[in-house]
A and B are shown apart, each in its own frame.
Chain A
Amino acid sequence: MRLLGQLALLGLLLAAPIFSYADSRISAYTLMSPSNQAMQNDMNLNPAMFWIMDGEALWADRNNPSNKACVDCHRDAKQSMKGVSATFPKRVQGKLLNLEGQINQCRTTRQQLPTLAYESKPLLALSTLIAYQSRGLAIAASRDSALEPDLQKGKLLYFQRMGQLNLSCAQCHDERAGLKLAGSVIPQAHPTGYPIYRLEWQNVGSLQRRLRNCMSGVRAEQYAYGSLELSQIELYLMQRANGMRIESPAVRP
């Protein structure tokens, strides 16, 4: 009997490593009510659908000095943009760019147009259209070794205390994920669904808008839109969420 017990224990110990390989990362999608989940899943109900339609109109817009629309180089976004947002941020011609940065780079260099401001309707429309084409695919964070310094800086910022509340991202989203803050469950903070339609904003918004929200939440002075710091934090978050399924455009409370 004692031997049997010891064998059983051995079996359990051998089985344990298999369970520890399971991915413990979960999306905030699981924390939402069924009705909000349905709103996200069904593009017929998802408010972000209008931004996608606006994006489709802009994709074909030739009204610029170069007379070139996105469609002229990239053809049908449904094909060419598949998997694209999954790889951002990354190094493009020596510069760390997120998706918004890449869109603006195309606009300025190929279309001779001025950059679009963060959270402006046209930029959100284009980023939502592009990110939507990666829905259902896994985040494929770039393995470029040239990204290492930015990645380390992003990680440093993630673990660094900030603001009057003197909290780091890690303290809430790593150490206390699953616990409650003011009645809401703290998510693990994986950027799987950006740009999101946030019910709070009654609007679609970028990851940078959400990060600035977090910073104001701990009473820290927010990094500017398009700043290197925000891109570095984005980079770290995407690497941390590497392999998770993209839900863009997600709905969040």
Chain B
Amino acid sequence: MSRSSRAVVTLPKTAKQGEVFEIRAIVQHEMESGFRHTEQGVRVARDIIREFVCTYNGKEVFRSELHPGIGSNPLFIFYAKAEQSGSLEFKWTGDDNYLTIVKQTITVL
């Protein structure tokens, strides 16, 4: 049973062949760093997203390894080259069985 949360991905619906287009991906996650303490002095356990991968028709376009130094609600703005129409998949995995997957299609003209 995995935990999941909201993710918002923004990319154009269409792109010209060969065009490099921008993708924005933001996911709702507190990214508990593991360095905070409660009022009683007890450390709050680390709970972060560890990896984010974007694939385009199954081929990797962008991947990132996240550490506690990434801010809450991690945002990545990156790029991809339009080759063929198809779908992009965005996957976030992290501590405590965290998994969120979002898919979006693109039409390449």
Cβ–Cβ contact A47 & B8, under 8 A: no
Complex contact B75–A45 (CB within 8 A):
yes
Chain A residues numbered 169-222 whose CB sits less than 8 Å from any CB in chain B: 202
B72: Cβ under 8 A from any A Cβ: yes
Of all chain A residues, which has the CB nearest B33? A202
Kindly report which residue of chain A lies nearest to residue B36, judged by CB atoms. A202
Q: Does A53 belong to the interface (CB within 8 Å)? A: yes
Query: A: which residues have CB within 8 A of B?
Result: 44-45, 47, 49-50, 53, 202
- A47-B72 Cα distance, complex, nearest whole Å: 8
In the complex, which of the residues B6, B24, B30, B72 contacts A44, with contact meaning CB atoms closer than 8 Å? B24
Residues of A within 8 Å of B30, CB to CB, are 202
Interface membership of B73, Cβ < 8 A: yes
In the complex the two chains form, is B24's CB within 8 Å of A50's CB?
no
Contact between chains at A53 and B6 (CB < 8 Å): yes
Residue of B nearest to A45 (CB): B75
A45 to B77, CA, bound (A): 10
Beyond the given A50-B28, A202-B30, please list 12 additional residue pairs across the A-B interface where CB-CB is below 8 A: A44-B10, A44-B26, A45-B75, A47-B72, A47-B73, A49-B8, A49-B26, A50-B6, A50-B73, A53-B6, A202-B71, A202-B72
User: Which of B6, B10, B73, B75 has most A Cβ within 10 Å?
Assistant: B73
Q: How far is the CA of A97 from the CA of B72 in the complex (A)?
A: 32
Could you say which residues of chain A place their CB within 8 Å of the CB of B72? 47, 202
Q: Which residues of A contact B10 (CB under 8 A)?
A: 44
Q: SS class of chain B's interface: helix, strand, loop or mixed?
A: loop
> How many Å lie between the Cα of A50 and that of B26 in the bound state?
10
Chain A to chain B: the 3 pairs with minimum beta-carbon distance, closest first: A50-B28, A47-B73, A202-B72
- CA separation between A50 and B5, bound complex, in Å? 10
Interface string of B17-32 (1 = CB under 8 A from A): 0000000101010100
What are 17 A-B contacts with C-beta separation under 8 Å? A44-B8, A44-B10, A44-B24, A44-B26, A45-B26, A45-B75, A47-B72, A47-B73, A49-B8, A49-B26, A50-B6, A50-B28, A50-B73, A53-B6, A202-B30, A202-B71, A202-B72
Q: How far is the CB of A50 from chain B (nearest CB, A)?
A: 4
Residues of B within 8 A of A44 (CB): 8, 10, 24, 26
- Closest approach, in angstroms, between the C-beta of A122 and any C-beta of chain B? 15
Q: How far is the CA of A202 from the CA of B44 in the complex (A)?
A: 15
Query: Complex: how many Å from CA A53 to CA B73?
Result: 14
Contacts of A49 in B (CB 8 A): 8, 26
> Which residues B66-108 have CB closer than 8 A to chain A?
71-73, 75
In the complex the two chains form, what is the Cα distance from A189 to B36 in whole Å? Answer: 29
A49 vs B71: C-alpha distance when bound (angstroms):
15
For A47, the chain B residues whose CB sits under 8 A away are 72-73
CB contacts (< 8 Å) of B26 on chain A: these are 44-45, 49
In the assembly, what is the distance between CA of A44 and CA of B10, in Å? 8
Q: Kindly provide the distance from the CB of A218 to the nearest chain B CB, expressed in whole angstroms.
A: 21
Which residue of chain B is the closest to A199 with respect to CB atoms? B71
B9 → chain A closest CB, angstroms: 10
- CB neighbours (8 Å) of A53 from chain B are 6
Minimal beta-carbon separation of B90 from chain A (angstroms):
15
Residue of B nearest to A57 (CB): B6
CB-defined contacts of A50 to chain B, threshold 8 Å = 6, 28, 73
Closest A-chain residue to B77, C-beta based?
A45
B31 closest partner in A (C-beta): A202
CA distance A15 to B24 in the complex (A): 50
